[in-house]
Amino acid sequence: MNKIPDSHFKGNILACYILLIPMYSFFFLISAKPYHLDTFMQITQGQLAFRAAIMASIELVVVLISRLSMLLVRSKHSINYTGFVMWELLEGLAITMFCALFVWLLDKRSMLYVDLLPKMFLITFSILVFPYVIVALLSEIKDRDNRLAKNMVTIEKYASGQIGREDSTLPFLDDKKSLKLAVTANAILYVEAADNYVNICYLNNDKLVRFPLRNSMRAIEQICESNNIVRCHRSYYVNLRKIRAIQKGSDGLFAELTYAAAPHIPVSTTYSETVTGKFSTLAQ
């Protein structure tokens, strides 16, 4: 399944989740009074405003911790749409439990905590569904615009011959944007992750060379993908032009390369359909 676009994790989208959604929740609670919240809690408008402020603050703290944790996870593992939705559901559940705990303690435990949870669940999710959907749609629109802009740049580079050809020169920069290696696309066999480095594995005088580059797989994704060097595994890119065959072994799919001394490159389930499709198209 496709991974979540980068736009979901940009600063302005994160700000919407962390700041704007709690603000929306506060005003929604005191104005709409979902599920007759004031009657249910037997409180005045002023008391409702106080409780709404505390509940919005709880939401802010939970979302802040949740989104920062999501960024840490995403730095090491890709997050697909299913994982993202599940994360948001758990986020909403955590908000519900903490808000219910606050109301339960404030009301001096006049009712059982477990009896309060269903009502708080309905209230919390009725508040969160609308802004979460709107922010997600805005993020998708922004991602679409970014992809269109990148595609236009890529088309221009293809038209000028800067990329896409076997003899195109690929400049690899380190994490400080300094040029460390320039090598033709035809020479590259594969790229592998190695802790805080990536190894650019290419042929030099018919010998396999591993060049360690201090950078991330994500940082070199665009230049690789633009030159038929595609992501086939969380830790690997492979040059489609250097694949002899894609086979299924005891540990799953792997790509056998044209260079006999090269190792077999794993093709994970996440990327198998994309890799085999592009390889079939290129081979025609």
| pLDDT band at residue 262 under the 50/70/90 scheme | very high
Which of 132, 156, 180 is where one domain is finished? 156
Q: Is residue 27 predicted with pLDDT exceeding 80?
A: yes
For residues 149 and 203, membership in a common domain is answered with: no
The pTM of the full predicted model, rounded to 2 decimals, is: 0.54
How many structural domains does the chain have?
Answer: 2
Tell me the C-alpha distance between 275 and 65, whole Å.
36
Query: Which amino acid does the sequence have at 166?
Result: E
Query: Residue 52 corresponds to which tokens in the numbers above?
Result: 């709404």
1 or 80: which carries more pLDDT confidence? 80
**Low-confidence winner among 72-81, 152-161, 199-208 (lowest mean pLDDT):** 152-161
Q: Is the dihedral of CA 165, 154, 216, 257 positive or negative?
A: negative
pLDDT score recorded for residue 156: 59
The answer to whether residue 162 is domain-embedded is no
- Whether residue 101 is contained in a domain is answered as yes
Q: Does 192 share its domain with 115?
A: no
Domain that holds residue 42: 6-156
Measured CA distances, 163 to 89, 181, 196 (Å):
42, 16, 27
pLDDT bin (cut points 50, 70, 90) of residue 155 is: low
Q: Are residues 17 and 137 in the same domain?
A: yes
51 within a domain of the structure (yes/no): yes
Task: Please say if the pLDDT value at position 160 is more than 50.
Answer: no
pLDDT of residue 123: 86
Do 111 and 176 fall into the same domain?
A: no
- What percentage of residues in the chain have a pLDDT greater than 90? 44
* pLDDT band, very low/low/confident/very high, at 157 (cuts 50, 70, 90): low
Whether residues 14 and 92 fall in one domain: yes
Residue 166's pLDDT band (cuts 50, 70, 90): low
Q: What is the DSSP letter of 168?
A: P
Last residue within a domain, chosen from 156, 188, 205: 156
What stretches of the chain show up as alpha helix (H) in DSSP? 11-15, 21-32, 37-41, 45-74, 81-106, 113-160, 221-225, 269-283
Bridge partners (DSSP) listed for residue 193? 198
Q: How far is CA 239 from the centre of its chain?
A: 24
Residue-wise pLDDT for 58-78, tens only, equals 999 999 999 999 988 888 787
Domain-embedded: residue 1: no
Judge if 112 and 20 occupy the same domain.
yes
Same domain? For 100 and 231 the reply is: no
**Residue 161 within a domain:** no
Q: Average pLDDT, stretch 137-162? A: 70
11 or 141, greater pLDDT: 141
Q: In this structure, what CATH number is given to the domain that contains residue 195?
A: 2.40.50.1020
Query: How many whole angstroms separate alpha carbon 19 and alpha carbon 234?
Result: 33
What is the arithmetic mean of pLDDT over 138-167? 67
